Structures are given as C-alpha cells and as structure tokens.
Structure 1
Amino acid sequence: MTRSPTRARRSVWTVVVPVITAIAGLLFATSAVTARGTDLRGADVGLPALIRDQASAVDRGTRANAALREEVRAMEAALPESAELARLRREQAELEKAGGMTAVAGPAVRVSLDDAGLTADSLPEGVSVDDVVVHQQDVQAVVNALWVAGAEAMTIQDQRVISTSAVRCVGNTLILGGRVYSPPFVITAIGDTRALQAGLDADPAVALYRSYVDRLGLGYQVEHLDVEFGGYTGTVDLDHARPARSATTTPPRGRRVPRPPPAAPLRPPA
C-alpha cells in the first residue's frame, strides 16, 4: 500500500515542528539565564568596560595601600629604639631609594608626545591613521633614551617609573600601573639635562619619531626645568612572573614561536 503525498508531508511536520519548538525554547531559556534580567543588546561589555573596571580596582587598591602604609609607619614609630632596629631602618632607606620609593628633586628634561590631530578624511595620500598617533614604541623610545643618557629618576604621566613599570598600548591610549591615559604623553627625567638632551638627539628611535613630527605634525616638545617627584607607592610584587625556561629548551614540533619585538624593555639602570 502506497502512502499518499499529503499524509507523508503531515508525518514529517509532525516530527519537525516539536523539534523546532524545543530548540527555540532552549535558546530563549539560555538568553534569559545569560542576561540575568539585563538588556544584552545594551550591555556595556568588551575591552573598554574591562579597562574601566580594572582602573577602578586600581584606585581602590591604591587607597587601601596608602592606608596600610600609614599603619606600618605608626607601628614602626611605636617600636622601642635599638641598634638592630637602627640598622634595619638604614637598610630599608637604602633599598627604598634604589627602588624609587622615596621622593627626589632636581633639574629635569620633560618630553611631551602628542597625536597629529588629523582626521581620516584629512590624511595625506599614502598615510594611515596609525602614522599620525603616538604608539607604545614611541614612548618606550624616549624612556629608554633618557635612561641610557643617565636619568636618575623618571615619571610618565606623573607616575614614578621603577624597574617593574611597563607601558602598554591600547588603541591610541596607554595603560600604566593599571590606569588609562590619553595623549599627550609626558615623560619627565631628573639628571644632567645636557646629557639627557644629547641622548634624545642621538637616539635613532627618537629620530624616527621626529621624522614623523616634521612630516605629519606629531607633537614633540622638550622642556628643561626643575621638578620634584614623589616616591613610588604601588606594589613591587611580580604577580605574573614565571621562571625563565632553559636556553636549550625547544618548542614542540609543528608550532612556530613568534620572534619578540626588538624594542628594549622599560627598565631603569641598576
């Protein structure tokens, strides 16, 4: 006995319709659980929101750190004087000075880097948006040139730079110490101003940036002045450090390990 076409179509839809209904119900339930009563379309997600959240966390941590430092100072002041305590305080003072934890003042060179201020519509032919903004490597070039030239202390955006400081580029903004900064980016270094200026003038990476200054109008301003820096107040723990691998360690077969960029690290002299 042959099945009529109408009855065959009915039997197929009898199976398909419940399946589609079940899938739709599952999707609605998943969306409701994910949203948790909020508007998914209007939710503030992504890297900008994450950066703002982390910046707020850094501010809270900074305030808590300052309060704890005050408690430690009060406890130290209450300790009875002894030769051992005096020795430990001298060692602490030496370590804090070497680590950039104490205030310092003196003649300085201040370098300001800024975007060219051109829009996508006003770019010259053959020039991209990346060519008219300040990048991480531009800030690093100035910082490293100043260290090499003998800088004794440094700040970026008024934050004290120490051996664990690092600048990271996110679009045309920089993240330093968990805070986000927009241009202009200001680097100030205490030291022999003539030597610092000569170091900037002779550095090839800074010279490359200055060529874009002349060609496209990027900002580059150098000032000589007297300044005072406060001590570094952040953490000095290496929360994300890992032991270095042996020089003989080779990557697994079939994997290509990218070569790191040639930029020197942001690190003051020992």
Structure 2
Amino acid sequence: MPDQHPERRVHGAHAAGRPEAAAPSARLDDARARAAHRLARQRRGRALRGTVSIGLVMALSGALFTANARLARGTDARQPQDLAGLQANEDARRERLADQVADLRARVDDLTQQQTDAGLEWQSAGQAFDIASGKLAVTGTGITVSLDDAPADGPRPAGTGPDDLVVHQQDLQAVINALWAGGAEAMALMDQRVISTSAFQCIGNVLSLQGRRYSPPYVVTAVGDPADLLAALDADPAVRAYRSWVDAVGLGWEVGRPAGDLEVPAYDGSVDMRYASVPEGTEILPGLVAGESTATSTQTRRQGTGG
C-alpha cells in the first residue's frame, strides 16, 4: 500500500531549483555586456563624428584663408595702404572725372550750337555777363599774389603758436575780396576760376576748392588794372593784418606784376544753386516784398532753398 505521507525530497527539490536561481545572474551579465557594447559603439560614433567635424572645419578654414589671401593680394595691387597713397589715388580719380565733365560740357555746347544753327535763336546777356559768370576765359593785364606758410626755421616771437605760421582761409578771402573791390575783371585761385559762388576751405595747411586740394604756396591771379589792384591790396585792413604777420613770423607774401598778359581759365564747376535766400526789402514780384510778413519770408526761403 502506497505510503500516504511520502517523505518530501527536500534535497531533490533544492537541486531542481538551482538552475532557476542562477538565471537572473546570467541575464544581468548579458545586459551588462550589451550595455558595454552599445557604449563602445556610441564612443566610436562620437569619435568618428568629431573627426569628420574637425576635418570639415579645417577644410573650410583653409578655403577661407586662401580666398582672403587672394583678395588681399588683389587689393594690395589696386589700393595703397598709406594715407598719402590713398589721397593721390583720389586726386587722380577726381582729375579723371573732371576731364570727363569737361568733355561732356563741350559736347553739350556743341549740341546747343547745332540747335542754334538749326534755327533756335539764343541771345547772350552780353560779354560782361559771360565774363562775370566765368563762362569765358579771360586774358589781359593784371597781377599775381602768392601766399605761403612760414618757414620752419623762421623767427618765433614770444606767444607765437602753430596757427600763426600757416595761411588761413580768411587770409585768402581777404586777398580775393580786396582784388574784387579793386576792380578785378576775372580771377583764379591756383588753376581754377573764381566766381561769385566759389567756395574754398582750408583744412590744416591744405586748400580744398571745388573738390580739388592744393598745398601752399597759394597763388591768386587777377586780371584788371594793376595800379587799382595794388592800391586795393594796400588799403584793405585784413590784408594789412596778414602782412604784419609776414614781418613777424616770415609768412610768404609776393606780389607780381607780369609784363605780358595773364590768362584766367573759364569756370568748369557746377553753377546750380543749392541754397539761397532773398534779402529783406527785395521786391520779389510786383507788390510782394521780402520780409513784409513772417509767412512771406518763410515761403521765400523755402522756395530759395528747395524746401
């Protein structure tokens, strides 16, 4: 008869359960191996991407450096790197543009003459007007006035500053205004015609006139009666003030009276007015006088200045 209470096989049961108890440890080792493999793969990927990125950056940098070097070589061949060279380039370019303007103006004059010959009637306001406006070159007797900076080794009285040793804008203006007052028919400053709208400026010891720059000595040429012109220079108080500094610090002052005729070129700049105003009391239209009311004055200024 079978045993109702068989003896439990404890040892057998423990022996059968051992493989099940060892399975979690094997899975853990598997997981660690896979994680280590993934980590190694990720590191290789990052290293590869880093290498590719570095290579790409180096290639782009090399291309940029090469392009910059080529551009620099091309720029050096075209543009100087010092201020004097740049100024010389700009002066040369300005001269070329001035020649082009003169050529275009000559073509315009030729076309205008052709239209006149074709039947259009044009009348000049008169030779005196053409001379005063600078349209015509002028040849005749006159004088020349030269102004120059003081020499470096000249006298230096006490209290003398650097500004006292150079020719200023007001010095040139004093000479030109005195010559106009003395009856000059035409005038030139350096190689350019001076008319009523001419404006020049001294920047340091450099003269700027109608887009061109000149260094001293500055030469003013005036066509007119030499005796009247000389008398006007002697009588002008601003000119006398400049000549006192000629004696004090050695500023340049030379007046010439050539035996032959002087030549003053025609004006080659723009004659368009950009800014203008009407003096008070001037009759603009019949019954309309500048300055009679604020509204009239404001409207006149706007019309004169273009807004």
What band does the TM-score fall into relative to the shorter chain? 0.5 to 0.7
> Residues 26-78 of structure 1: CA distance to partner in whole angstroms, max 9, x if unpaired?
xxxxxxxxxx998xxx9768xx8997676456434312211212222332343
RCO higher in structure (CA 8 A, sep ≥6):
1
User: Rg: which structure is higher?
Assistant: 2
Which residue number corresponds to residue 167 of structure 1? 200
Of 209, 212, 217, the match for 1:179: 212
Matched, 1:235 2:270: yes
Q: Structure 2 vs 1, CA of residues 81 and 181 (structure 1 numbering), >3 Å: closer, same or farther?
A: closer
Q: Which consecutive unaligned segments of at least 5 residues does structure 2 have?
A: 1-67, 73-79, 281-290, 295-307
Q: CA deviation at 1:94?
A: 6.4
Which residue number corresponds to residue 98 of structure 1? 132
Which residue number corresponds to residue 184 of structure 2? 151
Q: CA deviation at 1:196?
A: 0.4
Query: What aligned pairs does 1:26-105 form with structure 2 within 5 A after superposition?
Result: 55=91, 58-79=94-115, 81=117, 85-86=120-121, 88-91=122-125, 95-105=129-139
Query: What aligned pairs does 1:231-270 form with structure 2 within 5 A after superposition?
Result: 231-239=266-274, 241=275
SS of 1:62's partner is helix
Q: CA deviation at 1:109?
A: 1.1
Q: CA deviation at 1:124?
A: 3.7
Q: Structure 2 vs 1, CA of residues 74 and 234 (structure 1 numbering), >3 Å: closer, same or farther?
A: same
> Residues 138-159 of structure 1: CA distance to partner in whole angstroms, max 9, x if unpaired?
1111000100111110000121
Identity within the alignment, %: 44
Which residue number corresponds to residue 46 of structure 2? none
Equivalents in 2 of 1:209, 1:105: separation in Å?
Answer: 29
Query: What aligned pairs does 1:179-218 form with structure 2 within 5 A after superposition?
Result: 179-218=212-251
Q: Structure 2 vs 1, CA of residues 202 and 80 (structure 1 numbering), >3 Å: closer, same or farther?
A: closer
Q: Structure 2 vs 1, CA of residues 173 and 76 (structure 1 numbering), >3 Å: closer, same or farther?
A: same
Q: Structure 2 vs 1, CA of residues 93 and 69 (structure 1 numbering), >3 Å: closer, same or farther?
A: farther
Q: Under a length normalisation based on structure 1, what TM-score does the superposition of the two structures give?
A: 0.65
Q: Under a length normalisation based on structure 2, what TM-score does the superposition of the two structures give?
A: 0.58
Aligned residues: CA RMSD: 3.4
Q: Match of 2:106, as an amino acid? A: E
> Residues 140-184 of structure 1: CA distance to partner in whole angstroms, max 9, x if unpaired?
110001001111100001210011111201001111111111110
Equivalents in 2 of 1:75, 1:66: separation in Å?
Answer: 14
**4+ aligned runs moved over 6 Å, structure 1:** 42-45, 48-54, 244-249
Q: CA deviation at 1:228?
A: 1.4
With 142-151 and 56-65 compared, the bigger mean Cα shift is at: 56-65
Equivalents in 1 of 2:146, 2:160: separation in Å?
Answer: 23
SS of 2:239's partner is helix
Q: CA deviation at 1:81?
A: 3.3
Equivalents in 2 of 1:224, 1:105: separation in Å?
Answer: 14
> Residues 101-132 of structure 1: CA distance to partner in whole angstroms, max 9, x if unpaired?
10111111110001111269x74432111111
Kept in 1, the 8 Å contact 2:221–2:264? The answer is no
Q: Which consecutive unaligned segments of at least 5 residues does structure 1 have?
A: 1-35, 250-270
Equivalents in 1 of 2:142, 2:116: separation in Å?
Answer: 40
Which residue number corresponds to residue 175 of structure 2? 142
